[in-house]
Each structure stands twice: as C-alpha cells, then as structure tokens.
Amino acid sequence: MSADAASLQVPPSPAVLAPCACDPARSRGRRFTEPEAPTRTAFQRDRDRIIHSTAFRRLVYKTQVFLNHEGDLFRTRLTHSLEVAQLGRSIARSLRLNEDLVEAIALAHDLGHTPFGHAGQDALNASMRAWATRQGSESDDQAGFEHNLQSLRVVDALEERYPAFDGLNLCFETREGILKHCSAANARRLMAQDPSGVARRFIEGGSPSLEAQLCNLADEIAYNAHDIDDGVRSGLLTLQQLEEVPLFDRYRRRALAAHPQLAGRRLLFESIRLMLSDQVYDVIDTTRDRLAAAGVDDVEAVRSRAPLVAFSATMREESQVLKTFLLRNLYRHPRVVETTGRARQVVADLFETYMQRPDELPEAHGRHPNRARAVADYIAGMTDRFAIREHERLCGAVLFP
C-alpha cells in the first residue's frame, strides 16, 4: 500500500444504518480473499466493479421492451438499471438500509440479459433445451438458459478483469441479491460448485437481505412506470387507454386537479411522477410497519423469514392490474410481437450456426469443453446490434433492415 493510501481511511458506515440492514463490516465475504480497499466499503467496491465491467457497458445497447434501434429515447437495459438504482436508493435511505448495496444489486440485476430482452432469452432457452434433448446428455434443467442465473454467471465467471480469479469476486450480499430466482435443480448444482451458499435459500427456504428484497420491488416500480412512458412515446398506448387503469387514472386526475390546463406529454409525465412518488411512499410505510411488527434486529433474522419489503395490499393489487394492462396492450401488441418474432429467429439461427461452425466463435469460447454453454454465453453477451450484424454476416438474411 502506498503512503498516500495508508493515510486514507474507509469512511465509517452511516451510524444511522438500521440494525437489520447489511453492514459491509460484517459481510459474509468474497469467494477469493482480498485485502480491503483503503477508501471504500466492500459494497461500494462491488458497485464500482460492476460499473467498470464489460457486461455493464453492453447494457446500453440491449433491449428493455423496444429494440435499441427503434428510437433513441426508449429505455435500454442500462437506463432501466439506473432507474432501479435511483428508486432503490431513495427507499433504502428512508428505511436506513444500505444504499451502496442496493445500488450494486440494482446495477447488476440485469447483466445476464440476452439481446432483444425476454424474446432473446426465450429463444436461447429453447435452443439450449432442444440441443440437450438431441444429445440426451444433460438434464433439462441444467441445459436451459435463464437470465437471472446468467447475471450471477457474469459476475462469478465470465468477466475477465482480474489477474487472480475469473469474474468480479463480489461480496456474498451482492451475489445473493443478483440471484433473484433459481430452480431447485439449479440451486443444488450451484451449491455443489460454490460453498458460499448463495443458492441455499432456494432449497431450504428463507429470504435474501432487505436490500435485495428492495431491489425486486424497485425493479417492478421502475418498469411499470417507464413502460407506460415508452408505450405512449411509441404510439402503441394512448393516454385515453390508460384511463382504464385505476392506479394511473388516480394520478392523472390528481395532476389535472392541480393543473387544469395540463395535457399531452406534460400530463403523462406529471401523472407518472405522482404515481412513482406514491409507490415509493407506500413501500416505505408498509415495510416500516412490517419491520416493526416482526421485530427483526439483524440480517440473519431477515433471512430466516418471509420477505418483509412490500407494497400495501391495495397497492399490490393495483400494481398487478397495471402489469396485466401492460402485458395485454404493450408487451403483446402485434407490433411488438412482430419484432420479437424476428429477434427470436436471429438468436435461434446464431445458436445453430455457432454449434455447427465453432471456428466462428472467438477463441476463448471455442475452447470451452461445453460448446452449447459457450455458445449461449457468447450470444447472451451480445448487444442487439451486434447480434443483428453477426446474423447478417453468418446467415445472409437481413431481418432488421
């Protein structure tokens, strides 16, 4: 350590951290032991490692709902992740939870997404499973592709930035938050490979930290709000249509009551802004009550019981109605479905092509003992536009002129 670094000190964690919050000084640690950083806590350091990763930079060219080339103003995986981090930090500060950890989890939560959003994931999963069935060698569950598991794989294995280990060597608490869902079979496989126990709760029950629970809800709040915005911007949704959604309509009326002349874009933005604020306040109030009632006073008590971060019953119901509306009117809109159909084709064609012509893979992927997994890792890492270009080059078809 240089003299300068030695004179620096990690600022103490906020004295105001709630007893049930994750304290970096009491982290379950990293998979590979490393000296502490002189000026940052373990969770700040995780956040910084994520921001400097290759996978994080790729998020800017990956689809959230609308394909990256469909317009410059639609959300991408990157801006979505930043919005989740903003909402998550805001809630965390009010509940005295660890903001740095929330930010790290939020920025990493979508690192494993394929190009073209869920359509890309579904296609890659189908290709992997079909291949495994043809081989008869792997169990179905191990053979598939799931973006959540892939996010963990990116930070544990695929990033190549450090001399001594693969991946980013993040803290247990950050990895715990990234692994949001996991099948029991995948959990058993992870447990066999990784003694940290990051997948244990999917076998033995229990919950992740409050910071991880918070990121799940912040994710939902973020995409519900920004998909309304992007939906109207794209012309696939109208303000009039949104009047049938009670949650949105309440804030539209409230915005109009305060500003009777408001119309068009400003009315949309003001309604969304009011809705976002109210959902944040709802989570804070509900969770504060639930924490008090549960009497949890450390992270282990949080982990041993059902999730405590939640919407009120009314907000949960209303949020569900909005989700259903978006599913019916936006995610399944014929124009969206038509584009995602072509996106599926690109991913399926790329998978078959690389399986038959491994010489087309970059060298490191080509050497991997499990070719299907290497191909999936390579495709999953692609941005939308790289996948489209690569598909044109290898398959000669122009699906996105």
User: Do residues 226 and 83 make contact, with C-beta atoms less than 8 angstroms apart?
Assistant: yes
Q: Which of 125, 194, 211 is nearest to 156 (CA)?
A: 194
Instruction: Pick between residue 46 and residue 110 the one whose CB is nearest to Mg ion.
Output: 110
Q: Which two structure tokens, joined as six digits, stand for 164?
A: 């001594």
Binding residues vs Mg ion (CB under 5 A):
110, 219
Q: Least Å distance between CB 219 and Mg ion?
A: 4
Q: Least Å distance between CB 215 and Mg ion?
A: 9
Q: Least Å distance between CB 96 and Mg ion?
A: 25
Q: Which two structure tokens, joined as six digits, stand for 221?
A: 């709040």
Instruction: Pick between residue 64 and residue 329 the one whose CB is nearest to Mg ion.
Output: 64
Residues 275 and 287: their CA atoms lie apart, in Å, by 18
Q: What does residue 63 show for φ and ψ, rounded to 5 degrees?
A: -65, 140
- The three-state secondary structure class of 30 is strand
Instruction: Pick between residue 215 and residue 299 the one whose CB is nearest to Mg ion.
Output: 215
Residues 394 and 146: their CA atoms lie apart, in Å, by 25
Instruction: Pick between residue 21 and residue 105 the one whose CB is nearest to Mg ion.
Output: 105
Q: Least Å distance between CB 110 and Mg ion?
A: 5
Q: Least Å distance between CB 79 and Mg ion?
A: 11
Q: Least Å distance between CB 226 and Mg ion?
A: 10
Instruction: Pick between residue 97 and residue 221 the one whose CB is nearest to Mg ion.
Output: 221
Q: For 313-370, where are the alpha helices, taking DSSP H only?
A: 313-326, 334-356, 363-366
Q: CA of 232: how far to CAs of 151, 164, 240, 317, in Å?
A: 30, 48, 10, 23
Instruction: Pick between residue 110 and residue 227 the one whose CB is nearest to Mg ion.
Output: 110
Rg of the Cα atoms in the chain: 22
Q: Least Å distance between CB 282 and Mg ion?
A: 20
Instruction: Pick between residue 151 and residue 353 the one whose CB is nearest to Mg ion.
Output: 151
Q: Measured at CB, which residue is nearest to Mg ion?
A: 219
Non-local CB neighbours of 364 within 8 Å, separated by 6+ positions: none
* Residue type at position 171: C
